[in-house]
Structures are given as C-alpha cells and as structure tokens.
Structure 1
C-alpha cells in the first residue's frame, strides 16, 4: 500500500474577533455603566444627613437652625449635648437655658435622675411637648389638660394673643401656639389660652430657676419662625440667658441599665437604598434574559465558514463518542447506517426511514448463508461493553456488508 502525503489546508478560525466581541457586548457594557452611575447617585443622595425635627443643626423646614443662628448673632453661646451626663452638667450650670425636646422619649428612670440634679441658679429649662410622665417629674403642679373623658387636649398651631404677663409673650404679642394644652399650677403663668388650656406655661421656684412648657415647637421651626410674633417669642424664651444648651440624644440607643442590643451583622451596615437597588438589578437581569431569550428563533441552516473533509468530521465525531464513552450511541449510528445501505441492495423497502427488521435479517441470511438470529443480533443487538468489543463489532459489520455486496 502506498501512502500519499497531502498538504494540510490552512486552518480557518471561527473564534470571534475583537471587533465582533465589541459589537456584541457594547450595549451590555453601556447598560452596566448606567446602572453603576445610578447606584452611585442613589448612594450619594442617601448619604445626606437626616435630622430629627427641631434639630438646631438642621436647615430643613422643620429644623431649628434659624433661631439658633439669630441667637448666636446676638452673642449667645450655643452648644448641643447628646448624653445624659452632659445634660445633667448643663442643668447644673447657672445662667443657662436648656432645651429638652420630647422628654417623654427618655425612660422614667432617666427623667427621675435628671430631676434630682440641682439646677443652677438663674437658669431656665424648656420642655417641648412634654406629657404627663415628664410633667409629674419636673413640674408636678402642671398637668395636661384633658376632656371630660380623660383624653389629652390638643390644638392646631394658629396665631393667638398672649393674654398673660410673661414678658417674652407680652413683647411677642400675637404668635402661633398649639400642640398639647396644659393646666398651670397655682403659682404658674399660662399664656395663649386655647380651648380651656394653655400651650405655654411658665413655672418659677424660689431659686429663680424657671421651667417653660411648650405644647409644640412649631413656632421655633425654620418654616414658621418669620410668621406673626414667633421669632420674638422664640428668641425671648431661648435667649434670656448667656448660653443655650440643646439636648440631642440618640433615642435609639438603650437606656442606662437596659440590656445591650445584639451585635450588629454585616447586613446592618448596608444602607436601605441598596436593598431596593439590588431588587431593581435582579428585575433588570430577568427582563434582559427574557429579551434575549425571545430573540432565539428556529434553527437556520448556514454554510460552514470552511470546508471540512468528511474524514475529519468522522474522526471528530468518533473522538467525541470516545471521550463520552458513548459506545452504545456509536454502535447504534453504525448499525443504522449499515441497515440503510443494505436494504436497497437486498430490495427491502424502507418504511418511515427504517426497514422491517424481520425482512431485512431474512434477506441478509439468504444472501450470505448465515443464521437469521445471528444477523439480527449484529444489526439490532445489544451495544458493545468496551472498546475492544466495539472494534470487533465494527469489523463484523464491515465483513457482513462486503458479503452482501459480493456474495
């Protein structure tokens, strides 16, 4: 046998080029960049400070930065404290005004400890929106006004005359007062009467220590400070002493003596907005998958980018079968091809793409003189168990086909 050497054909690569990769992925990259920019924008917006109402640092509509700024321009010293110890020290200082917004958010134990602090002389404590527990600790003579059914009275903030002798109220005149209403004690002064109660009450003890109760701090807010006599009343109530101390506690922290909160996990430090961003990203990914999935249509036959020899295709397919150890599939493919080649030679018709097994085996046995059962086992039998059996099976098929074609 003479072997003839053939020149190998130049290989043709079917891998996509850089340009093709760019054209395919540019829209996905653009979409990813847009999502990143939106995420950064959301993170930047979400990182802005959030202030509670009547925070002296807040420029928001419900903040109190404007009144504090006016007091500083008049030469007052202002500062904020955020701990119970610092608040107690501020209460003990003489000549100071201490503002305690929503004192009932503190525990009753904390309120009692603060009430036991010996307040400095010539000082003023301003309680904003205190309820019965705070009043019972700081000013037992002042009570919350109630309806005959025992429900606390409240009124909307609106402009009303002072109708009292409190110097700050007389100077301010008409001002917006509302919120909770109170009943003053025998020696207390109630101002701006509303519905049988007073939204402003002043109590003074023999040591010239004043307690001012405000039903609402709305008149001190940036939004309402310029209305009516709100600015004059706010500056008078908060600026009567040389320094102003504003209590800004962390109401979410456990009170002293309370059990500590559980240790925070990594997810606790993730901003709330990122969970919504993650949900939006998941939804976008699902929509993109649905969009791309709908583009898959029926299979389209296309010409190969390069001509491949039949022997190379056969070898490649055989290697795939060998790598997958698919001896049964390989044997079935060889049997089917052999049957399709033998049936026309023997005159056995192909019905629905396949010859009748009994007729085909009988025709092969008559042509070659073999046993029909042996022919049936070869053409329709069990698959080989190993590679050696597969090779013997292929040789047997080749021998049978040659005998049929050349009896």
Structure 2
C-alpha cells in the first residue's frame, strides 16, 4: 500500500509558481524595446539639433562660419565690430563704416528701418546678404528680386573694377532687377545680376546686394576669387560693423499670421460638414443595446479548467490574499460537517478550529492559524498553504484516505 498524498512537512513536492528571469524578460521586452528606441531617437535628435553651426559668424571656425574673412580683414587693418541688435549696429555705424547685414529677411520692418536710416544718414556702405523682396522694399525700393538660382562659380561679365579684379566667384541665389541706369550689376544668372551696387542717400553712401552668402563661408573662401571679392566688398572702408541678428530681432508675434489665418475661409464649412458626416456614420454603425439575452454555451467547461483559469488570473494579478481566502473558505466548508459544526458556524474562528483540533490532535492555535491566518507573503508560501490545508483535511478523514490508498 503506497501513500499517494503529498508530504507537507518538507514542501519538496510543491510547485514553484514565482516568475523567473526568463518569464519577466518575455513580459517586459516589448516595453523595454520601445523605451530604448525612444531614448535612442531622443539622443539622435539631440545630436542633430545641438547647438548653432555658427553660420556667417565672424568668430566661428566651422565650415559655414566666417572667421577666415574676419582675420583677413584684420590683417589689412579693417576693424570689425560684431553686433547682435539693430540699435547697436546703428550706433556703431559712421561715414567710414561698412555695415554688413547677414540675414535681412529675418528682420522686422522696424529693425530694417533702423538700419536703413543709420546707413543713409551717415553715408555708410550697406552690404546685404541674400536680401529678398521684403528686405529690398525697405533698403532698396524699386529693385525686384528673382530666383533663387543655383550657387556656383560664375564670371563677372561686367565693367565693375571690383568684380573684374576678383574674377570668377561663387555666386547665385537671388537675381535682381535694378532701376534703369542705376548702379552696376555683375555675375548674372539668366541675364539678372546677383551682385548689384546702388548709390543711396545724400551722403555718398551705397548699397550692395549680394544674391548668396556662400563666398563668405570658411569652406569656400579659398576658392576662385571669393577671397578677393569679399575683401573688396567688406574692406573698402576702415571700419566694418558685422550685424548678426539674434533671436530678439526675429519677427514678433504681432507681425506673424496664425495658422488659421493662412487657411482658406472655407475651412470652417468643410470642418462642419466633416463633423456631420462622422456623426451620421456613428449613428449608422453604433451598437444597438437591447435587453439581455441568455443563450446556452456551445461547450461544457470542466470544473478543473475553470479552477485552473481562476488560479492563473490570481497569479497574474498577484492576488495571493484572495487565493488564500478561497482555499481556506472551501476547506472550512468541507471540514464543518465532518467535525459536527453547523454550516452557519463554519466560518467563525471560535467553533471550527477547536472541533478540528479535537479530531486531529493538533493544537487549536495551529489549526486556527491554518484556517484563519494572515495571507501568505509569496507564491511559495501560498503553495505550502494549499498543501497544508489538503493534509489537514486528510487527517480529519483518515478512513477515506486509507480506502483510496488500498484501492490504488
């Protein structure tokens, strides 16, 4: 005769249900992978957008900086003053000054007017890098902008001594249509010059329009006649005011149109029609809720499968307290009639433990802790509790256990 029961004293036959490292990895690998991709994308975006490239900054030695031309000008005795606001640039401008405006298109109308007035009143030489039509309307009224065209090496094709001394240079970008018989135009693209010099103001000043700023970049300064042309344009006078506008000089919110202002006025009617279409589609496809209908299940689910399903749910949710309560309640229901306790008193901690202890010979305190004790602290303790409850129930019904052993 062999004992088919489980030894609850040592717990060697218990089944460990705590998740191991492999199971934890399988559960969390999707979230970890998504988090890693998010961090990688953020780091890559930060690298691509980190910092300023120093474009046209006379202090920058990067490819798009202009430190090389600034040093060449300093070697020829030209004093360069870097300013970041229009008022600073206007205050530093004088008759012996060349005022270089790096991004005239990025300025507000009021900022452009400050610079125009400073150059016109003092007779300074005003050099504009790639001005568009908005900037031309302030600095050079009557001049029209066209393009932009490809920036590449071009021949001067004009009689201007500055351009003829420099020879071929890297130009393109905007082409300009100056007023008739005014100024000179060189380096044409499709018949339109990309370098225009115009006389301005009563104080013998002049305005220079440069269609592209590439020849001032460090990486292109030593190509063709770029250095010669840049030195002649910026070093014609003893003092150079290099105006590099900061973010404060950008167009203000009052001068910008909102996104809705840029849309066609009919967008409101289109949005209303779309909302009505969505509402009608929702009414058409919505689920109609009626009275509850009961129907027979197509299959019969075995009680063992239901129990295993509940166990898996408890395990997944970590609900050891509810699982332990269910095990203890079922054991108390089965033990109460066996020890002569009324069903109504089966779940009272005063009557049942004493009756069970009288049948098994165990200490009432031990039986009480087993049937009404605190929830287990981990999954292993929960499995051990189930084994101990099963062993207690077998000790209350020893004859049934022996019968099962004998029949086996």
TM-score (norm. length: structure 2): 0.54
Please give the alpha-carbon distance, in whole angstroms, between the structure 2 residues aligned to 1:246 and 1:130: 16
- Which residue matches 1:87? 89
- Which residue matches 1:135? 136
Please give the alpha-carbon distance, in whole angstroms, between the structure 2 residues aligned to 1:333 and 1:81: 87
- Which residue matches 1:355? none
Which aligned pairs between 1:4-403 and structure 2 lie closer than 5 A? Answer: 49-91=51-93, 93-117=94-118, 119=120, 121-144=122-145, 152-185=146-179, 186-205=181-200, 206-251=202-247, 255=251, 258=254, 329-330=327-328, 332-333=330-331, 375=337, 378=340, 381=343, 384-395=346-357, 397-398=359-360
The alpha-carbon distance between structure 1 residues 393 and 46, as it changes in their structure 2 partners (threshold 3 A), is: farther
**C-alpha displacement of 1:77:** 1.3
Please give the alpha-carbon distance, in whole angstroms, between the structure 2 residues aligned to 1:383 and 1:328: 17
**C-alpha displacement of 1:127:** 0.5
Q: How large is the RMSD of aligned CA atoms in angstroms?
A: 4.0
Structure 2: give runs of 5+ residues left out of the alignment.
1-39, 256-320, 362-394, 401-408
Q: Which has the larger radius of gyration?
A: 1
Please give the alpha-carbon distance, in whole angstroms, between the structure 2 residues aligned to 1:229 and 1:241: 20
1:162 match: secondary structure: coil
Q: Is residue 327–residue 390 contact of structure 1 (8 Å, CA) maintained in 2?
A: no
Q: Is residue 156–residue 163 contact of structure 2 (8 Å, CA) maintained in 1?
A: yes
**C-alpha displacement of 1:171:** 1.5
Please give the alpha-carbon distance, in whole angstroms, between the structure 2 residues aligned to 1:170 and 1:333: 107
Q: Is residue 106–residue 250 contact of structure 2 (8 Å, CA) maintained in 1?
A: no
**C-alpha displacement of 1:175:** 1.9
Please give the alpha-carbon distance, in whole angstroms, between the structure 2 residues aligned to 1:257 and 1:335: 76
**C-alpha displacement of 1:44:** 11
**C-alpha displacement of 1:181:** 0.4
2:188 match: secondary structure: coil
2:193 match: secondary structure: coil
Q: Is residue 96–residue 241 contact of structure 1 (8 Å, CA) maintained in 2?
A: yes
Q: Is residue 331–residue 383 contact of structure 1 (8 Å, CA) maintained in 2?
A: no
Structure 1: give runs of 5+ residues left out of the alignment.
1-37, 145-151, 260-322, 339-373
Q: Is residue 384–residue 393 contact of structure 1 (8 Å, CA) maintained in 2?
A: no
- Aligned residue pairs, count: 261
**C-alpha displacement of 1:60:** 2.1
Please give the alpha-carbon distance, in whole angstroms, between the structure 1 residues aligned to 2:326 and 2:170: 93
Please give the alpha-carbon distance, in whole angstroms, between the structure 1 residues aligned to 2:240 and 2:399: 114
Please give the alpha-carbon distance, in whole angstroms, between the structure 2 residues aligned to 1:166 and 1:198: 12
The alpha-carbon distance between structure 1 residues 216 and 393, as it changes in their structure 2 partners (threshold 3 A), is: same
Please give the alpha-carbon distance, in whole angstroms, between the structure 2 residues aligned to 1:183 and 1:397: 113
**C-alpha displacement of 1:331:** 6.7
CA distances 1:234-253 after superposition (whole Å, capped 9, x unpaired): 11101111121211122476
CA distances 1:302-343 after superposition (whole Å, capped 9, x unpaired): xxxxxxxxxxxxxxxxxxxxx99967744755887x8xxxxx
1:386 match: secondary structure: coil
Q: Is residue 219–residue 230 contact of structure 1 (8 Å, CA) maintained in 2?
A: yes
**C-alpha displacement of 1:70:** 1.0
**C-alpha displacement of 1:401:** 5.7
Q: Is residue 155–residue 194 contact of structure 1 (8 Å, CA) maintained in 2?
A: yes
**C-alpha displacement of 1:137:** 1.1
The alpha-carbon distance between structure 1 residues 44 and 401, as it changes in their structure 2 partners (threshold 3 A), is: closer
TM-score (norm. length: structure 1): 0.54
**C-alpha displacement of 1:218:** 1.0
